[in-house]
Amino acid sequence: MDKIKGISNLEANILLVVWDKEKTTNREVHEIFLKKELKEKDSSFTPYTTIMSTMNSLVRKNILKINKYQKTFIYSVGLNRKELTNSIIKSVAEKLL
C-alpha cells in the first residue's frame, strides 16, 4: 500500500458516502451532496465535475476502486476506514520522527 499523506475535507465526505453505500457512481454521490447542501440551505453547491475528479483522484491514491459496467463507472472501497487511518497516522508519524 502506498503512503497516504492525508485527504481533503471533500475526499473525506465522499469516502463517507462510499463506505456507507459500498458501491456507487459519481452521479449518486453528487445527488447525495446536493440533497445535503439544499437541506442545509448552503448557497454554494459542489459541481458534478468536482465530485468526479475528486473520486478519480481517490482511485489514483488506491483509496477507491473503479469498475466499468456497461457505460457506467462503479466506485467501491479500496481501503476501509482502519486501513486509511493507519496509513495517514503512519505518514504523519514518519514526518515527526
Tell me, what's the pLDDT at 94? Answer: 78
What pTM did the predictor assign?
A: 0.82
Whether residue 23 contacts residue 74, with contact meaning beta carbons closer than 8 Å, is answered with: yes
Residue ranges covered by each domain of the chain: 9-96
**pLDDT for residue 1 is more than 60:** no
| Residue 94 to residue 23: CA distance in whole angstroms | 33
**pLDDT for residue 89 is more than 90:** no
Tell me, what's the pLDDT at 35? Answer: 92
Task: Determine the CATH number of domain 9-96.
Answer: 1.10.10.10
| pLDDT single digits (tens) 6-58 | 788 899 999 999 999 999 999 999 999 999 888 887 678 899 999 999 999 99
Mean pLDDT on 66-93: 87
Backbone angles phi, psi at 96, to 5 degrees: -85, -20
